[in-house]
Amino acid sequence: NLQGTWELNNGYKMPYLGLGVWKAEDGEEVINAVKWAIEAGYRHIDTAKAYDNEEGVGKAIKESSVARKDLFITSKLWNSDQGYESTLKAFEKTLQRLDIDYLDLYLIHWPVEGKYKDTWRAMEKLYKEGKIKAIGVSNFLEHQLIDLMKDCEVRPMVDQLEFHPWLVQEDLQKFCAENDIQYEAWSPLMQGKAFKNETLKKIGEKYDKTPAQVVIRWDLQNGVITIPKSTSKDHIESNADVFDFELSEEDIQTINALDKGERIGPDPNNFDF
């Protein structure tokens, strides 16, 4: 069921399939993508200050026929805004651009050394005030999660990480599960590289599904929230057409075995922006 949810560690429900909008241009492109997604049944949109399209996402939400309370909107705090006061300010601007009065999920985009704890204190304040329903992080590895949790009052509810068949990070998944932190996948389709993989193609043929659908289904069966990105109506619809089949345990293991520990994006231990 496309609108199915998983419960976060504070009881708030998060839809397990969402639309990612990185690199969707503000204006018509992102507005159409979000509208098509909502029409196709998506209830979860993943944006960020850094994507420069919060305004367009906000417009699409407003113009859609689905009530705000039935949508799940994520945004992320950018690196240059980290710190206590600057986080409070950046959050207000994000709300203004989206033109909504609360966020469902706010994430620290990257673990900026020396700053993420002050940032987290501001996120906790906003959470306690009810302006954000759930708070979390992105690109935090195990040691960064441990460090953050040593001093926090509210534990992160989500960690959004690069996750796809070439980068499984089983230990990190296990750590998150043990600490009740929901694992969420970014670049789930390997930014398009998934489509050419022979193993994924073969598995897809068995179920009459595309490699993209196989990977999205694999995320869901692994308990991972997933936010494939597209601005094409057809792809937005087909990426959500993953609820009428189930991968066998053997196929899941075959996909797990594609893991090469290979990143497409930056290493959270060594990023520079």
Q: Tell me, what amino acid is at 268?
A: P
Contacts of 87 (CB under 8 A, 6+ apart): 77, 81, 118, 119, 122, 123
DSSP 183: E
Residues 171/149, Cβ–Cβ less than 8 Å: no
Q: Smaller CB distance to ligand NAD: residue 130 or 140?
A: 140
Q: Smaller CB distance to ligand NAD: residue 85 or 273?
A: 273
**Binding to ligand NAD, residues 144-163 (CB under 6 A):** 160
- Contact between 238 and ligand NAD (CB under 6 A)? yes
- Which x/- pattern, by CB under 6 A, does the window 15-34 give for ligand NAD? -----xxx------------
CB crowding 9-29: b at 16 or more within 10 Å, else e: beebebbbbbbbbbebebeee
**In the bound complex, which residue of the shown chain has the CB atom lying closest to ligand NAD?**
20
Q: For residue 102, indicate whether it is catalytic.
A: no
Task: Out of 5, 64, 86, 191, point to the residue binding ligand NAD (CB under 6 A).
Answer: 191
- Contact between 189 and ligand NAD (CB under 6 A)? yes
Q: Smaller CB distance to ligand NAD: residue 139 or 153?
A: 139
Distance (Å, rounded) from C-alpha 235 to C-alpha 225? 18
Task: Out of 119, 169, 187, 197, point to the residue binding ligand NAD (CB under 6 A).
Answer: 187
CB of 108 to ligand NAD, least distance (A): 10
CB of 118 to ligand NAD, least distance (A): 20
Measured in Å, how far apart are the chain's first and last C-alpha atoms? 38
Select which of 16, 42, 51, 116 is catalytic.
Answer: 51
**Binding to ligand NAD, residues 65-104 (CB under 6 A):** none
Distance (Å, rounded) from C-alpha 189 to C-alpha 216? 8
Tell me how crowded residue 263 is: count the other CB atoms within 10 A of its CB: 14
Does 109 belong to an annotated binding site?
A: yes
- Contact between 239 and ligand NAD (CB under 6 A)? yes
Tell me how crowded residue 114 is: count the other CB atoms within 10 A of its CB: 8
Q: Smaller CB distance to ligand NAD: residue 87 or 230?
A: 230
Task: Out of 75, 79, 138, 169, point to the residue binding ligand NAD (CB under 6 A).
Answer: 138
DSSP 267: B
- Contact between 4 and ligand NAD (CB under 6 A)? no
Tell me the three state secondary structure of residue 161. strand
Cα 179 to Cα 16, 68, 122, 159, 167, distances in angstroms: 19, 30, 22, 11, 21
- Contact between 169 and ligand NAD (CB under 6 A)? no
DSSP 194: G
Task: Out of 113, 223, 265, 271, point to the residue binding ligand NAD (CB under 6 A).
Answer: 265
Distance (Å, rounded) from C-alpha 47 to C-alpha 54? 7
Residues at the interface with ligand NAD (CB under 6 A): 20-22, 46, 109, 138-139, 160, 186-192, 195, 212, 227-230, 235, 238-239, 265
User: So which residues are the catalytic ones?
Assistant: 51
Binding site, annotated residues for substrate? 109
